[in-house]
Amino acid sequence: MTARPSMEETLLEVAATMARRGTCSRARVGAVVARDGRILTSGYNGAPRGLPHCLHPLGEISSTEDVNAPTCTVAVHAEANAVAFAARHGIALDRSTLFTTLSPCVVCAQLVVNAGITAVYVGERYRDLTGVRLLNEAHVVVFSRMRHESYPGLGWRSTWQRDDGSEDFDET
Ligand SMILES: [Zn+2]
Ligand SMILES: [Zn+2]
């Protein structure tokens, strides 16, 4: 059989593609919510509908590693936008799975829990892991990408590991 990417890999790639549409000048994040491998809703981060895109002064732009760096207060996060789109169109997210390029912040983690999402696949861990720990406390299973290797003819191949939000997660 022809080698092909896993379903998880494919859906995270869709989330990464959506991230390219992000309008916040500080970060681009994409999210996809799926059930049984089919996409229910998606989102990327950006200012609320009808409001101008955020353009942050240079001093506000910071590395994702700096825990004390200011965060964007304009953009609606990718996960929140995905949940809001589902609400707008009457799509139930109960027992679905979230694929997101960056691990959810604590507010998005709360939304994920109450939307009924039961598993989360994370492309890259955010500097603040409070959201990941909240998901674990609420019994939402979190998998973070351990390895991300290029395979000829297959594109990317990731390996995933259960993520409890501890600081010593072995990322490579
Ligand atoms: Zn912004
Ligand atoms: Zn968020």
- In this predicted model, what pLDDT tens digit does every residue of 111-132 receive, in sequence order? 999 999 999 999 999 989 999 9
Sheet holding 30-35, edge to edge: 38-44, 30-35, 97-102, 119-124, 141-151, 155-162
- So what's the pLDDT on residue 16? 95
Q: Is 40 left (phi over 0), alpha (psi -120 to 50) or beta?
A: alpha
In angstroms, what CA-CA distances link 17 with 13, 29, 47, 80, 100? 6, 9, 18, 17, 11
pLDDT at 62 over 70: no
167 is catalytic: no
Residues with Cβ–ion distance below 5 A, ligand 2: 77, 105, 108
The phi and psi torsions of 59 (rounded to 5 degrees) equal -65, -25
pTM of the model: 0.89
Question: Alpha-carbon distance 143 to 88, whole Å?
Answer: 28
Name the band, by pLDDT with cuts 50, 70 and 90, for residue 77. very high
Catalytic residue among 13, 79, 137, 149: 79
Ligand 2: centre distance to CA 114 (Å): 14
